[in-house]
């Protein structure tokens, strides 16, 4: 179970669990926002999308569609998802929201923690500070 595979490890759950453990409060799948963002921080006016690399066509990623994938059906589906994602991000940005996209291939714990903290700002938990400085040192 060390390898990340989209279907069974549920990248979004991993991110949510991490955020929860770090002391952030959030709402899920807010439908009145463009693109129904996966994780929403209303107070901070920030949202996080957690994208599966295959379905959302992560460029240059080993989990994304390979060049040998000639199947037009999947290609169209993936391209449509990319267009939707881009439009949602544009609309959110226009309305003053900050967006972060976390790809399923980026779920390595320390690096993701640092990204989340720098995107969201520190949470209310004091424990964060030591974690943050540790993680930065390792980069």
CB of 104 to Zn ion, least distance (A): 6
Pair 27, 48: CB distance under 8 Å:
no
**Residue 89 or 97 having the CB closest to Zn ion:** 89
- Helices (H), strands (E): how many in the chain? 5, 4
User: Which range, of 1-9, 33-41, 47-55, 77-85, touches Zn ion by CB under 5 A?
Assistant: 47-55
- Smallest distance, Å, CB 106 to Zn ion? 7
Of residues 50-109, which lie at the interface with Zn ion (CB under 5 A)? 53, 58, 61, 63, 103, 105
Instruction: Tell me the C-alpha distance between 26 and 33, whole Å.
Output: 14
Question: CB-side exposure of 62: number of CA atoms within 13 Å?
Answer: 5
With respect to Zn ion, which residue has the nearer C-beta, 41 or 103?
A: 103
CA angle 67, 81, 119 (to 5 degrees): 105
Residue 35 or residue 52: which is nearer to Zn ion going by CB? 52
The label of the residue with tokens 């080993």 reads 62
Residue nearest Zn ion (C-beta atom): 61
Does position 22 bind Zn ion by CB under 5 A? no
Q: How many residues bind Zn ion (CB under 5 A)?
A: 6
- Is the CB of 63 or the CB of 119 nearer to Zn ion? 63
**What contacts 24+ positions apart, CB below 8 Å, involve 79-84?**
81/55, 81/56, 81/57, 82/56, 82/57, 84/35
Residues that bind Zn ion (CB under 5 A): 53, 58, 61, 63, 103, 105
């Amino acid at each position: 179970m060390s390898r990340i595979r989209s279907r069974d490890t549920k990248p979004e759950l991993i991110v949510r669990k991490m955020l929860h453990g770090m002391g952030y409060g959030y709402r899920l799948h807010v439908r009145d926002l463009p693109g129904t963002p996966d994780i929403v921080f209303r107070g901070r006016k920030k949202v996080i999308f957690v994208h599966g690399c295959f379905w959302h066509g992560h460029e240059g990623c080993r989990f994304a569609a390979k060049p040998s994938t000639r199947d037009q059906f999947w290609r169209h589906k993936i391209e449509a998802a990319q267009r939707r994602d881009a439009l949602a991000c544009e609309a959110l940005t226009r309305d003053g929201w900050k967006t972060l996209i976390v790809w399923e291939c980026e779920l390595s714990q320390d690096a993701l923690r640092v990204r989340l903290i720098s995107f969201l700002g520190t949470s209310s938990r004091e424990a964060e500070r030591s974690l943050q400085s540790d993680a930065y040192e390792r980069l």
